Amino acid sequence: MTVVDVRPRRRVVAWLGWAVLAPVVGLVLVRLAGLDDGNVLALPMAGFPLVAAGTVLLAVVFGVVRMKAAWLAAGLAVVQLAVLVPRFVPDGGEVGAVRLRVGTINALAGRVDAAALVELVRAERLDVLAVQELPGAGVRSLAAAGIDEVLPYQELHPEQDTSIYSRLPLHGGGLLAAPTTWGQTVAKVEVGGRAIRLVGVHTLYPLGDAEKWGRDLAALRVAAGPDVVMLGDFNATLDHASMRGLLAAGLVDTHAELGRGWAPTWPSGWWVPPLMQLDHVLHGAGLRGVSVGEHTLGGSDHRMVVAELALV
């Protein structure tokens, strides 16, 4: 009877386990140290929650087959969950009676289904809508679909990127005085006797130029304040150091505030489900999130985000 020595095979399997975990170790270190700010490391960082889910699975599998790498996988999973779990815990707190309902959608160069968008604006009773990637043709499509009937006040900048539509009168409109790749559209609305500043956001994407993307997010910090609402396509997740720097300037992500820690908005309409949350509604300390949700619209590769905010 021939005895097969399985030790070499086990060593190969063991080394494969360590090899699989090596990039996870690197990603966790980058996340903890914030080393992805304005560089190519931002690309893998966008998938941090998915990697965390995979690490938990690996820890279980490695444990079942009694691989030593299970201990490392378990340790990495604990660190990743410590980072992610807080965004699944609602902040709580009282909310005021004065509300503002806002929405944001990337129109994919104006290709979004204009009629469906206007109908959703009506159904959600939006007060404010920010639309990114809206050229002149897109502005005309929304007008033909009846946007003027529901959101008659408009700060339109098709020559830049983003336009703001409102049910309430707008004033102080224009572009944010900040060195961003595209002009960030701004305007103010009076709500409950207070002037709420709106910033329609669209940053460059890190795949195009990570350094410019990081500068875009850093430049947005000048607009932070208690009565500010920033909404749009930030091309960033809460795991990006550049995005966390913006939040540290005094802003709150409505999804995380309400415990909606997993709400991916991109890509939409592909053969895969949305995997990353690039679209956000951020607000200052003068407001509090009441609700937030996502909606799929034909023609866009982003899901629309709708949030209700209360003055505090």
**Edge-to-edge strand order for the sheet containing 194-202?**
171-175, 185-191, 194-202, 228-233, 279-283, 252-253
Specify the residue for token string 């990006």.
Answer: 240
Q: For residue 277, what pLDDT is reported?
A: 98
Mean pLDDT score, 20-33: 97
Q: What is the band of 8 on the pLDDT scale with cuts at 50, 70, 90?
A: low
- What SS3 state is found at 87? helix
Say what percent of the chain tops pLDDT 70. Answer: 96
Query: What's the pTM value of the predicted model, to 2 decimals?
Result: 0.93
Q: For residue 143, what pLDDT is reported?
A: 98
Mean pLDDT score, 39-53: 96
Q: Is the pLDDT of residue 108 over 90?
A: yes
Q: For residue 274, what pLDDT is reported?
A: 97
Q: Is the pLDDT of residue 6 over 90?
A: no
Q: Is the pLDDT of residue 98 over 90?
A: yes
* Long-range contacts from 187-195, C-beta under 8 angstroms, 24+ separation: 187/155, 189/100, 189/127, 189/128, 191/98, 191/100, 191/127, 191/311, 192/96, 192/98, 192/311, 194/227, 194/286, 194/311, 195/227
- pLDDT averaged over every residue in the chain: 94
Specify the residue for token string 């691989």.
Answer: 67
143 CB-near residues (< 8 Å, 6+ apart): none
Candidates 239, 155, 236, 150; CA nearest to 199 is 155
Q: For residue 12, what pLDDT is reported?
A: 62
Distance from first CA to last CA of the chain, Å, rounded? 80
> Alpha carbon 249 to chain centroid distance?
17
Q: Is the pLDDT of residue 13 over 70?
A: no
Q: For residue 3, what pLDDT is reported?
A: 47
Mean pLDDT score, 46-71: 94
Structural domains in the chain? 7-88 (no CATH), 99-311 (3.60.10.10)
Q: How far apart are CA 235 and CA 45, in angstroms?
A: 12
Q: What is the band of 93 on the pLDDT scale with cuts at 50, 70, 90?
A: confident
Q: For residue 92, what pLDDT is reported?
A: 79
Q: How far apart are CA 307 and CA 294, in angstroms?
A: 9
Q: What is the band of 80 on the pLDDT scale with cuts at 50, 70, 90?
A: very high
